[in-house]
């Protein structure tokens, strides 16, 4: 069995509210074991023998659509994936007045597209793209008004994205 984390895009925002107990019930599928959730933003931890993460994501997305009647993008990571993301953090010594976030992407973005948005960074908003993650550093309390939202990255990089704060990313290592 492999321990997985499913990060769900846009869970409990925009007027769509789903209690985590209901979300856990949706994840009850053949082969899924030890299902739990972490906070209200759509983080589901589970064990499964399936090794194909894209197949898992599609299976979960189909079940979510059937249960909720709207599409939810799912990003699948393993505990070793999360450990690697934490280890690769390019902002390890960031200033105390800045918060770190990680945007999980559906695919590695084209280098040329990334280079086009690099000049938009400023002293209050910085980012680094490493593989299928974007490490985003913003002034405390500023993420809600950040230029670098999921929608921004999706539009400019032509990938799908969901973002979690650094504390949530690290908390996943405890599961």
CA within 13 Å, CB half, 97 = 4
pLDDT at residue 18 tops 80: yes
**Domain 87-174: which CATH class?**
alpha beta
Phi, psi of 117 (to 5 degrees): -100, -10
Percent of the chain topping pLDDT 90: 87
Q: Could you tell me the two tokens for 125?
A: 């908003």
Q: Give the helix/strand (H/E) hosting 101.
A: strand 98-105
Residue 150's pLDDT is 94
CATH 3.30.70.1280 boundaries in the chain? 2-79
Mean pLDDT of the chain: 94
Whether domain 2-79 has CATH 3.40.50.1370: no
| Tens-digit pLDDT profile for residues 46-59 | 999 999 999 999 99
| Tens-digit pLDDT profile for residues 124-173 | 999 999 999 999 999 998 888 899 999 999 999 999 999 999 999 999 99
Question: What pTM does this model have?
Answer: 0.94
Q: Give the helix/strand (H/E) hosting 45.
A: strand 43-48
Residue 144's pLDDT is 87
Q: Tell me how far apart the alpha carbons of residues 97 and 141 are, in angstroms, rounded to a whole number.
A: 9
What is the pLDDT confidence band of residue 175, given thresholds at 50, 70 and 90? confident
Residue 137's pLDDT is 97
In the numeric block, the tokens 């509210």 are attached to: 17
CA within 13 Å, CB half, 175 = 25
| Tens-digit pLDDT profile for residues 3-12 | 999 999 977 7
CA within 13 Å, CB half, 113 = 13
């Amino acid at each position: 069995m492999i321990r997985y984390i499913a990060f769900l895009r846009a869970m409990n925002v925009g007027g769509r509210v789903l209690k985590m107990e209901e979300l856990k019930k949706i994840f009850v599928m053949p082969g899924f074991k030890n299902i739990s959730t972490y906070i209200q933003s759509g983080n589901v931890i589970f064990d499964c023998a399936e090794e194909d993460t894209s197949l898992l994501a599609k299976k979960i997305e189909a079940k979510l659509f059937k249960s909720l009647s709207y599409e939810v993008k799912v990003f699948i990571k393993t505990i070793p994936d999360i450990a690697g993301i934490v280890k690769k953090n390019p902002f390890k010594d960031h200033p105390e007045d800045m918060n770190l976030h990680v945007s999980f992407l559906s695919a590695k973005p084209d280098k040329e597209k990334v280079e086009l948005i690099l000049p938009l960074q400023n002293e209050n908003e910085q980012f680094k793209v490493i593989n299928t993650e974007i490490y985003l550093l913003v002034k405390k309390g500023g993420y809600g008004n950040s230029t670098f939202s999921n929608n921004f990255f999706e539009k400019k990089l032509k990938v799908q994205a969901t973002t979690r704060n650094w504390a949530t990313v690290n908390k996943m290592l405890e599961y």
